[in-house]
Amino acid sequence: MEICGNREMELLKKLGFTRVAGSPEELQAAEILKAECEALGVPAILQDFEIEDADIGTATLEVLEPYNQSYPVTGYKCAQNTFEDGLTAELLYVEDGEDVNLSEAKGKIVLVNPGYMRVPLFKKLMAAGVAGIVTMEGTLRDDRQETDLSTRKLRRTLRAFGSVPMVHTRVLDGFDMVKRGACKAKLVLRGATVEKTSHNVIATVMGTGKPHEIVSFGAHFDSVDFSKGVYDNGAGSVINMEILRYFVENPPYRTVKFIWYGSEEIGLEGSWAYVKAHQEELKDHKLMINVDVGGPVLGTDKVTVTGEEKLTAFADYMAKICACPAKVKQGIYSSDSIPFADSGVPAINFSRDGAPGASYIHDRFDTLSFLSAEALAHTTRLVLEVSRALINGKVFPVERKIPQNMVEEVEKYLYKKELAEVSAEK
């Protein structure tokens, strides 16, 4: 069977609408993928799982001194609410949250540089006793009419360290506040947590020789606010559909499972749910193959192996033998391979990353305009060549084990040490 980039592109066009975790559009995309599997003669099922979400009623930020102005903000889902009349406090710009920045931050609303709140900074802000947090995204070059302000969530991992009201604003507006010396503000956040249902799509092609041994292909199909999510990760979704088509026509020696994950963008929720619901089956999983981002005309194929060095060398050799240029390294990749690696299943992550300035991610510019059928087909060939040799081998040469250095990387990524410390304190 010939890999066909144009066929991949056709499916990618069908999926090219915003598909936020737990939304009706995400379910619609799941149904499209399911129907596509079934058109290939492979039954597919939807696994549903609950996700934590929130409806934000009010989120406002008003500078009170030395001037008066309201700025557009979005409210953090699942962060602590203010009272209805809001939180009025001194406003302090604390940059990256160095100790000196935070020495007088107690009881204040703080504006921070990083757009994504992560554990180390959040932990410091909680320890410093801040009363509220403002984060920023975008660039000074933004045109308000052409940029969107996303809605963030204070994830459970962060909430383990505490919670305060949080809002998100543009870099443009953060800049304006700091330049004009904003020093007192009123922040209002009123939201309510709600449960939503998200879905994984699961299709299986039984192995002809060793059906009890499983290799799974994974790609997330959800996107974020405002993003059509074709590069991230409609591309990986259609690449795996093409690989499924190959194994329908060329039955595999081992069983191959294809799983399209929902809710990756809000914290790998789909793959965590899969792993949790398939503990028994997981013992038979030999390898996980994940594809996350693909298709840019200008870019580089990357292969990140969360497994032993020998597997890294194998992937590197295969890429060279098949004349597929790719940067291969051992490491972890922030995607659905993490829950598998955390359960002891080695993983190979494929991505085609856009060249600097030649791709857009997590915003309204993630569109088909910078992708091509040729680039999709190129990555598909690479994924197929590397995985096929393993799936059809008489012996599966990869040990079902994560080497110690990778175990440490995964634990660091999941902030296991910090979480264990905070739960011990409680």
Q: How much helix, strand and coil, in percent to the nearest 5, is found in the chain?
A: 35, 30, 35
By CB under 5 A, how many residues form the interface with Zn ion?
Answer: 3
In the range 92-131, which residues lie near Zn ion by CB under 5 A? none
Please tell me whether residue 366 binds Zn ion under the rule CB under 5 A.
no
Given the rule CB under 5 A, which of 20-28, 191-199, 205-213, 286-294 is the region that contacts Zn ion? Answer: 286-294
Q: Which is nearer to Zn ion, 75 or 354 (CB)?
A: 354
Give the nearest distance from C-beta 164 to Zn ion in angstroms.
29
> Which pair of structure tokens corresponds to residue 420?
């264990």
User: What distance in Å separates the CA atoms of residue 154 and residue 118, rounded to the nearest whole number?
Assistant: 10
Please tell me whether residue 237 binds Zn ion under the rule CB under 5 A.
no
**φ and ψ of 275, to 5 deg:** -60, -40
Nearest to residue 368, comparing CAs of 9, 19, 29, 18? Answer: 9
Give DSSP secondary structure letters for 238-296: HHHHHHHHHHHHS--SEEEEEEEES--TTTSHHHHHHHHHTHHHHTTEEEEEEE-S--B
Nearest to residue 152, comparing CAs of 51, 22, 265? Answer: 265
**φ and ψ of 64, to 5 deg:** -105, -30
In the range 377-396, which residues lie near Zn ion by CB under 5 A? none
Q: Which is nearer to Zn ion, 161 or 231 (CB)?
A: 231
Nearest to residue 372, comparing CAs of 6, 32, 98? Answer: 6
User: What distance in Å separates the CA atoms of residue 168 and residue 175, rounded to the nearest whole number?
Assistant: 13
Given the rule CB under 5 A, which of 136-144, 159-167, 229-237, 392-400 is the region that contacts Zn ion? Answer: 229-237
User: Among 222, 242, 292, 409, which residue interacts with Zn ion (rule: CB under 5 A)?
Assistant: 292
Give the nearest distance from C-beta 163 to Zn ion in angstroms.
27
User: Among 232, 269, 336, 363, which residue interacts with Zn ion (rule: CB under 5 A)?
Assistant: 232
Please tell me whether residue 233 binds Zn ion under the rule CB under 5 A.
yes
Give the nearest distance from C-beta 263 to Zn ion in angstroms.
12
Give the nearest distance from C-beta 21 to Zn ion in angstroms.
12
Q: Which is nearer to Zn ion, 90 or 232 (CB)?
A: 232
Q: Which is nearer to Zn ion, 232 or 301 (CB)?
A: 232
Nearest to residue 110, comparing CAs of 94, 99, 126, 123? Answer: 94
Give the nearest distance from C-beta 241 to Zn ion in angstroms.
16
Residues that bind Zn ion (CB under 5 A): 232-233, 292
